[in-house]
Amino acid sequence: MSIRADVAEPRIAAPVRTVDCRIEDCGKPRAHHSTVCQTHRQRIRKWGDPHFTQWGTADMQDVELIVRERRSSPGLTRLERVLVARGLAERKVPAHEVARIVGVNQRTVERWRARDWQLAAR
């Protein structure tokens, strides 16, 4: 069998090597040019802490103050938004007013209330 110079032999691709994120207990792969995965990179960039999650942090004093004074407050975490919405719902505040205070859409507040009612009915 003769080999022609203009026809190259097909190459076998090297196996793709994935390296995990350097953050402890994270098994997600990282990009080849980075030391951490995308999730941790976003948390570091936005919050300065790779372990920060918006669902695990709530300042109950801020939540109670916002519920009592019914004033909007930017920069609330997700958990704080939900807790403020629940507190205002207990005080019979309309959904559109809760949405303005919390900084979300009225439909979101209605969805949160429906979920809470479903959980209470169980």
The pLDDT tens digits of the residues spanning 57-73 come to: 788 888 899 999 998 88
Map tokens 């109670």 to a residue: 64
Pairing of strands 29-30, 19-20: antiparallel
pLDDT tens-place string over residues 35-60:
888 888 888 888 788 877 767 778 88
- Residue 28's pLDDT band (boundaries 50, 70, 90)? confident
Pick left, alpha or beta for residue 30 (phi over 0 → left; psi -120 to 50 → alpha; otherwise beta). Answer: beta
Q: For the chain, give the mean pLDDT.
A: 84
Query: What is this structure's pTM?
Result: 0.61
Check residue 5 and give its pLDDT: 59
Check residue 1 and give its pLDDT: 53
Neighbours of 111 (CB within 10 A): 13
